[in-house]
């Protein structure tokens, strides 16, 4: 019995530690799994880079900018997009940056009816002699009669379905007794910005059977010369005390463009300011897509840090856009982008003004009162680390070898979670867009467009084996027959260097090419005069980037749009096996 008890006791004592060890083992495993899970979650949180919300609406643009080759961006000269191309239309209620009052000024049928109701009891009326004869004779037409303007407004709404009309001026006399010249502001419905443009046309006025004014005939784009504003002397953009010379009576200067360079004001304002200054890096002389990607990174960091961005207006245009096939320095930012809009959307200061005031402050103050400067030597110092820095100037210096000296490197990694590129701040130059508007207006906003990519791509049979034959004149004629109605205005946006290459299409369509409008940037044009003034009186070349920008924007405004890589050829846009 003793043995039995002893054995039983021994067995009972041996099982207890095994159970405790098992519980400990399970606890340790659970804790280890928990720690491992936290570790994985932490790694994901640190390395995850969410997409820029401004680019979510344009996946193609995201792909274009984030496809590196040799640590730079491939240059696609066939299409150029800026902020106004990737934001909703002004007519879209979801527009993130709506204009404050443009919608209220829109001329619609409803607004015309309200005006008609107000003047219905007016004592003025169409002269009885004109009413009874149904014709307007000398001295019977008063162009300032509001009924004339109503007739013109109704005609425009019927004739130009793609246009949004804004302020009309009071009509003035034309060249004949039955003609009136009228000016107004407008925007194409496909325009993604809320900028306004100006047109003035001559209208032949008649009388309806029920004694109302009607438009018998409307002149073409800018035909109403008497409604053109008097060419006034305007201040030179960026100049001090200088004025633009008087141009010919055909001048249609856009007085709304304000290219003046903002100044910092007093030295006290400079010392109390907060600035983010980027030294020139490896982005200089790279393609325009690379430039925009980097520039908006710097501007986005300045906004995140709540600082004024110091901006160099002098650019270098990459060789790809130049006939000389060489990089060209000394290009002004204002040739290509809307500086006025940028000033409205972001806090910026021009580099020359900034450096002048900085040196002046340090020269006139004791050493101990010099401007505090935080020099940042590597892009690896994140914006988050600089958020609480109180220095007047944060100076990022990009002295490392490529690709470590690219501005956009600042916005990579963890910074991508905080820095959003302000695409809404970067629009194409209003001067370039005026050329786009002029070309579209001359076709009365009623045209179709085809985008024909040729150039070097047509020669690269290894990457685009069918492109050359698929865009040959005979192939274009056959393919466009099923897409565009005969004898329509057909605008061809292309990089094909030979003007007569598309002559076979002229037997079926009214063909328009960019070079048909050379006078719009020739030495007698408004563009030529104003860009020369920006360039200290020296002529500015209408370069390859400008051509692509204008070509692309006119193409966007076509009623029917035919693309090269979606409609004309089965070759992939980026070469073999990239579809």
Q: Return the sign of the alpha-carbon dihedral for residues 91, 431, 342, 67.
A: positive
Concatenated DSSP letters of 441-462: HHTTT--EEEEE--HHHHH-TT
Q: Please say whether the beta carbons of 498 and 523 come within 8 A.
A: no
Which of 52-66, 268-282, 491-505 shows the lowest per-residue confidence on average (mean pLDDT)? 52-66
- Kindly state the average pLDDT of the residues 457-474: 94
Average pLDDT, the chain: 83
Alpha-carbon gap, residue 104 to 110, rounded angstroms: 12
Rounded to whole angstroms, the Cα distance separating 327 from 75 reads 14
Query: When comparing pLDDT for 77 and 386, which is higher?
Result: 386
Angle at 186 between CA 184 and CA 187, to 5 degrees: 170
Mean pLDDT, range 402-425, rounded to an integer: 94
CB 277 within 8 A of CB 396: yes
b/e sequence 504-538, b meaning 16+ C-beta within 10 Å: ebeebbebbbbeebeebbeeebbbbbbbebbbeee
Kindly report, residue by residue over 130-147, the tens digit of the pLDDT: 676 667 767 778 999 999
- Label residue 533 by pLDDT band (50, 70, 90): very high
Is the alpha carbon torsion for 346, 285, 498, 575 positive or negative? negative
Torsion over CA: 248, 249, 251, 254 (sign): positive
Distance, CA of 428 to CA of 556 (rounded, Å): 14
pLDDT higher than threshold 50 for residue 246: no
> What integer pLDDT is reported at residue 240 of this predicted model?
42
Dist. CA 496–CA 494, nearest whole Å: 5
Average pLDDT over residues 496-503: 95
| pLDDT of 373 above 60 | yes
Of 447, 511, 430, 515, whose CA–CA distance to 476 is shortest?
Answer: 511
Query: Which pLDDT score is estimated for 90?
Result: 52
Helix (H) or strand (E) holding 203: strand 197-207
| 3-class secondary structure, 350 | strand
Q: In which band, very low, low, confident or very high, does the pLDDT at 360 lie, cut at 50, 70 and 90? A: confident
Q: Which of 198-207, 255-264, 313-322 has the lowest mean pLDDT?
A: 255-264
* Full-model pTM: 0.81
Q: Give residue 41's pLDDT.
A: 67
- Which pLDDT does position 89 carry in this prediction? 52
3-state secondary structure 269-297: HHHHCCEEEECCCCCCCCCHHHHHHHHHH
Asked if 435 and 336 touch (Cβ cutoff 8 Å), the reply is no
- CA Rg value for the chain: 33
**Tens digit of pLDDT for each residue in 249-297?**
445 567 778 888 887 765 567 778 899 999 999 999 999 999 999 999 9
Q: Mapping DSSP to helix (H, G, I), strand (E, B) and coil, where does residue 414 land? A: helix
Percent of the chain scoring above 90 in pLDDT: 60
Give 3-state DSSP helix, strand, coil % of the chain, rounded to 5.
40, 15, 45
Q: Does pLDDT of 54 surpass 60?
A: no
How is 471-520 classified by DSSP, letter by letter? Answer: TSHHHHHHHHHTTS-TT-EEEEEE----GGGGGGGGGTSEEEEGGGGGGG
Summarised one tens digit per residue, pLDDT across range 21-32 is 777 777 777 777
What is the reported pLDDT for 442? 96
Whether 229 shows a pLDDT value over 80: the answer reads: no
Q: 79 falls in which pLDDT band (50, 70, 90)?
A: low
Do residues 307 and 232 touch, judged by C-beta distance below 8 A? no
CA-to-CA distance for 506 and 487, rounded, in angstroms? Answer: 9
Query: Is the predicted pLDDT of residue 329 greater than 70, yes or no?
Result: yes
> Residue 403: is the preceding peptide bond cis (ω within 30°)?
yes
């Amino acid at each position: 019995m003793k043995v039995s008890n002893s054995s039983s006791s021994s067995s009972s004592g041996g099982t207890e530690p095994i159970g405790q060890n098992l519980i400990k083992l399970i606890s340790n495993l659970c804790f280890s799994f928990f720690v491992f899970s936290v570790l994985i979650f932490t790694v994901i949180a640190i390395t995850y880079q969410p997409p820029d919300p401004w680019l979510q609406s344009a996946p193609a643009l995201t792909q274009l900018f984030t496809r590196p080759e040799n640590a730079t961006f491939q240059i696609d000269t066939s299409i150029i997009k800026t902020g106004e191309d990737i934001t909703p239309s002004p007519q879209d209620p979801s527009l993130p940056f709506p204009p404050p009052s443009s919608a209220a000024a829109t001329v619609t049928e409803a607004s015309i009816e309200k005006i008609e109701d107000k003047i219905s009891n007016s004592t003025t009326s169409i002269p009885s002699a004109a009413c009874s004869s149904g014709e307007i004779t000398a001295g019977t037409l008063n162009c300032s009669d509001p009924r004339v303007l109503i007739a013109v407004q109704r005609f425009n709404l019927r004739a130009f379905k793609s246009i949004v009309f804004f302020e009309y001026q009071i009509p003035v006399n034309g060249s004949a007794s039955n003609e009136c010249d009228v000016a107004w502001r407008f925007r194409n419905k496909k325009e993604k910005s809320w900028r306004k443009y100006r047109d003035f046309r001559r209208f032949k006025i008649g009388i309806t059977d029920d004694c109302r004014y009607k438009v018998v005939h409307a002149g073409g784009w800018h035909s109403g010369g008497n409604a053109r504003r008097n060419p006034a002397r305007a201040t030179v953009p960026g100049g001090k005390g200088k004025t633009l010379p008087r141009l010919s009576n055909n001048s249609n200067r856009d007085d709304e463009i304000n290219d003046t360079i903002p100044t910092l004001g007093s030295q006290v304002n400079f010392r109390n300011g907060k600035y983010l200054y980027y030294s020139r890096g490896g982005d200089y002389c790279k393609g325009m897509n690379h430039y925009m990607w980097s520039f908006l990174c710097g501007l986005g960091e300045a906004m995140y840090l709540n600082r004024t961005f110091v901006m160099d207006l002098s650019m270098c245009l990459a060789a790809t856009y130049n006939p000389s096939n060489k990089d060209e320095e000394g290009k002004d930012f204002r040739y290509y982008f809307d500086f006025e809009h940028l000033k409205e959307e972001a806090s910026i200061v021009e580099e020359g003004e900034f450096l002048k005031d900085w040196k002046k402050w340090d020269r006139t103050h004791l050493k101990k009162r010099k401007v505090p400067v935080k020099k940042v030597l590597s892009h690896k110092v994140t914006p988050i680390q600089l958020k609480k820095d109180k220095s007047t100037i944060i100076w990022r210096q990009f002295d490392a070898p490529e690709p470590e000296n690219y501005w956009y490197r600042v916005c990579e990694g963890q910074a991508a979670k905080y820095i959003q590129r302000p695409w809404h701040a970067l629009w194409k130059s209003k001067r370039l867009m005026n050329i786009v508007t002029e070309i579209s207006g001359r076709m009365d906003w009623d045209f179709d467009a085809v985008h024909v990519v040729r150039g070097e791509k047509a020669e690269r049979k290894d990457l685009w084996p069918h492109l050359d034959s698929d865009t040959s004149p005979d192939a274009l004629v056959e393919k466009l027959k099923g897409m565009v109605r005969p004898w329509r205005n057909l605008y061809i946006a292309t990089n094909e260097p030979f003007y007569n290459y598309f002559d076979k299409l002229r037997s079926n369509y009214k063909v328009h090419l960019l070079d048909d409008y050379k006078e719009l940037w020739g030495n007698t044009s408004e563009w030529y005069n104003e860009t020369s003034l920006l360039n200290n009186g020296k002529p500015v070349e209408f370069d390859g980037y400008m051509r692509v920008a204008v070509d692309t924007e006119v193409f966007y405004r076509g009623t029917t749009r035919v693309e090269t890589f979606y409609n004309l050829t089965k070759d992939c846009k980026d070469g073999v096996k990239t579809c």
